[in-house]
């Protein structure tokens, strides 16, 4: 089914955004122009870092972070198995080996104790992920990185504007990356931004993202092996426009999450998203519930789709992806918390302009399907119990 009553996600695009892109299209400069620099400054000033480097995706940003640090073959990079695959692939791009550490079962972010246990003499970096927009345990990971001489990169691709203990994500780390795919809080279509306080590191990153050109971006003068990771002017124009209303967008998304919380709080078989006490501002990327193990998730998704409601699992563990199974021999049972959580997650429709009526519709269909599922489950349980009792009575009768 493709015609859903409520979309799974939808970018927030207004007339100001459209006008900003059209303004660039009415100029002769569509790449490597002033709008990219405006977007970079807007992000750096909002986050509170000295530098920002625009790139064409969050994945590219993560790759540049590791490349700029000289991560290479024989190095290990510790990250989470509960994320989008790019969090680990960025190490593979440099010939390094991703090493996974299991997650905290509440926050779904990396467990610092398990990260430290995974450190070896080959470990060079940690890539922490702010899962679903909840800031990770930066303070603990920063201490681990300092003790072992490691680089800490924050994958904040889902978390722009989030705060932990009043500190915005992207600060207090060596470098961090935001992403702006259409399902993110704000979008540039495709695109990302790296932030850092290290100006020398930023210069290297800028060069790497621009085909390895020198610090002055001199025409046809390439000083290192780089990549074509530039962000175009049209995307940057959309980013500048969206950044101007980021706080309002985050507030709108928090309101939608609040509607879901109120409707689903007492529903049997559902666990709502957990917000850690240290999370002083959540940046809602998606709204993901966890289902009781007795709920057939695949069947529920099929039923909801028939009702016009899309829903998806978030995430499939990275170590169980075919590439990682084949290349590194990973398999089920290695990271039990990640695997248990991943079997239970269900992302519901969620976007900035979602209305309360739409949330009610999704919740009504979900609750109806869950109630029907519980009734069938209890009916089967009663039948089995009655059958067991009948067998027991028969056995007693035969014994007497």
Taking only Cα atoms into account, the Rg of the chain, rounded to an integer number of angstroms, comes to 24
Q: Which residues pair with 348 in a beta bridge?
A: 287
Task: Measure the CA–CA gap between 195 and 387, rounded to whole angstroms.
Answer: 64
Q: Give burial (CB, 10 Å; 0-12/13-18/19+) of 85.
A: middle
**138 and 228 together in one domain:** yes
Q: Which residues pair with 51 in a beta bridge?
A: 196
**37 and 171 together in one domain:** yes
Q: For residue 135, what is the domain's CATH number?
A: 3.40.640.10
Helix locations, 210-316, DSSP H? 233-243, 246-264, 297-306
Average pLDDT over residues 77-95: 98
Could you tell me the pLDDT band of residue 376, with boundaries at 50, 70 and 90?
low
With a CB cutoff of 8 Å and minimum separation 6, the contacts of 399 are none
Out of 207, 224, 246, pick the residue that ends a domain. Answer: 246
Strand, helix or coil for residue 252: helix
Task: Measure the CA–CA gap between 177 and 24, rounded to whole angstroms.
Answer: 25
Reported as a single tens digit per residue, the pLDDT across 1-47 is 458 999 999 999 999 999 999 999 999 999 999 999 999 999 999 99
**154 and 275 together in one domain:** no
Reported as a single tens digit per residue, the pLDDT across 122-170 is 999 999 999 999 999 999 999 999 999 999 999 999 999 999 999 999 9
Task: Measure the CA–CA gap between 180 and 160, rounded to whole angstroms.
Answer: 9
pTM of the predicted model over 0.85: yes
Task: Measure the CA–CA gap between 97 and 122, rounded to whole angstroms.
Answer: 9
With a CB cutoff of 8 Å and minimum separation 6, the contacts of 281 are 161, 162, 163, 250
Reported as a single tens digit per residue, the pLDDT across 272-306 is 999 999 999 999 999 999 999 999 999 999 999 99
The answer on pLDDT for 270 being more than 90 is: yes
Reported as a single tens digit per residue, the pLDDT across 60-83 is 999 999 999 999 999 999 999 999
C-alpha to C-alpha distances, 280 to 3, 108, 109, 261, nearest whole angstrom: 37, 17, 16, 18
Task: Measure the CA–CA gap between 203 and 184, rounded to whole angstroms.
Answer: 27
Least confident of 57-71, 163-177, 193-207, 370-384: 370-384
Which residue, among 143, 150, 108, 151, has the nearest Cα to 129 in the 3D structure?
Answer: 108
Could you tell me the pLDDT band of residue 90, with boundaries at 50, 70 and 90?
very high
Instruction: Please indicate, yes or no, if residue 336 is contained in any of the structural domains.
Output: yes
**44 and 102 together in one domain:** yes
Average pLDDT over residues 88-117: 98
**157 and 273 together in one domain:** no
**157 and 69 together in one domain:** yes
Q: For residue 297, what is the domain's CATH number?
A: 3.90.1150.10
The answer on pLDDT for 176 being more than 50 is: yes
**226 and 146 together in one domain:** yes
User: Which domain does 291 fall in, by range?
Assistant: 247-376
Long-range interactions of 291-298: CB distance < 8 A, separation 24+: 291/344, 291/345, 291/346, 292/268, 292/344, 293/343, 293/344, 294/269, 294/377, 295/269, 295/370, 295/373, 296/373, 297/343, 297/344, 297/346
The answer on pLDDT for 396 being more than 50 is: no
Domain total for the chain? 2
Half-sphere exposure in the Cβ direction for 318 (13 Å, CA)? 22
Tokens 């900003």 -> residue? 20
Task: Measure the CA–CA gap between 363 and 264, rounded to whole angstroms.
Answer: 7
Instruction: Please indicate, yes or no, if residue 315 is contained in any of the structural domains.
Output: yes
pLDDT score of 391: 47
Task: Measure the CA–CA gap between 61 and 54, rounded to whole angstroms.
Answer: 8
């Amino acid at each position: 089914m493709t015609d859903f009553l409520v979309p799974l996600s939808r970018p927030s695009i207004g007339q100001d955004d459209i006008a900003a892109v059209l303004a660039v299209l009415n100029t002769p400069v569509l790449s490597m122009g002033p709008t990219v620099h405006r977007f970079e400054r807007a992000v750096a000033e909002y986050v509170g870092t000295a530098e920002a480097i625009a790139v064409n995706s969050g994945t590219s940003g993560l790759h540049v972070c590791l490349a700029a640090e000289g991560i290479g073959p024989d190095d290990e990079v510790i990250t989470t198995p509960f994320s989008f695959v790019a969090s680990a692939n960025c190490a593979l791009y440099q010939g390094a080996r991703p090493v996974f550490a299991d997650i905290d079962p509440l926050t779904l972010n990396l467990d610092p104790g398990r990260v430290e246990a995974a450190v070896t003499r080959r470990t060079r970096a940690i890539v922490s992920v702010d899962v679903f927009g909840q800031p990770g345990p930066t303070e603990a990971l920063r201490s681990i990185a300092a003790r072992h001489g490691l680089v800490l990169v924050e994958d904040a691709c889902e978390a722009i504007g989030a705060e932990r203990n009043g500190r915005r994500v992207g600060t207090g780390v060596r470098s961090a990356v935001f992403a702006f795919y259409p399902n993110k809080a704000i979008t540039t279509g495709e695109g990302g931004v790296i932030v850092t306080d290290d100006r020398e590191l930023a210069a290297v990153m800028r060069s790497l993202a621009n085909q390895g050109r020198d610090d002055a971006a001199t025409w046809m003068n390439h000083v290192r092996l780089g990549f074509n990771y530039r962000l175009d002017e049209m995307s940057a124009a959309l980013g500048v426009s969206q950044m101007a209303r980021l706080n309002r967008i985050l507030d709108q998304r928090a309101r939608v999450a609040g509607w879901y919380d109120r409707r689903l709080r007492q529903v049997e078989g559902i666990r709502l998203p957990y917000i850690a006490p240290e999370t002083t501002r959540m940046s809602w990327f998606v709204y993901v519930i966890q289902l009781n193990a007795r709920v057939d998730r695949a069947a529920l998704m099929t039923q909801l789709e028939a009702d016009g409601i899309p829903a998806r699992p978030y995430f499939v563990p990275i170590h169980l992806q075919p590439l990682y199974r084949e290349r590194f021999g990973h398999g089920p049972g290695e990271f039990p918390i990640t695997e248990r959580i991943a079997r239970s997650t269900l992302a519901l429709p969620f976007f900035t302009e979602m209305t309360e009526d739409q949330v009610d519709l999704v919740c009504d269909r979900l609750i109806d399907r869950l109630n029907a599922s519980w009734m069938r489950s209890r009916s089967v349980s009663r039948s089995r119990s009655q059958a067991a009792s009948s067998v027991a009575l028969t056995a007693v009768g035969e014994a007497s």
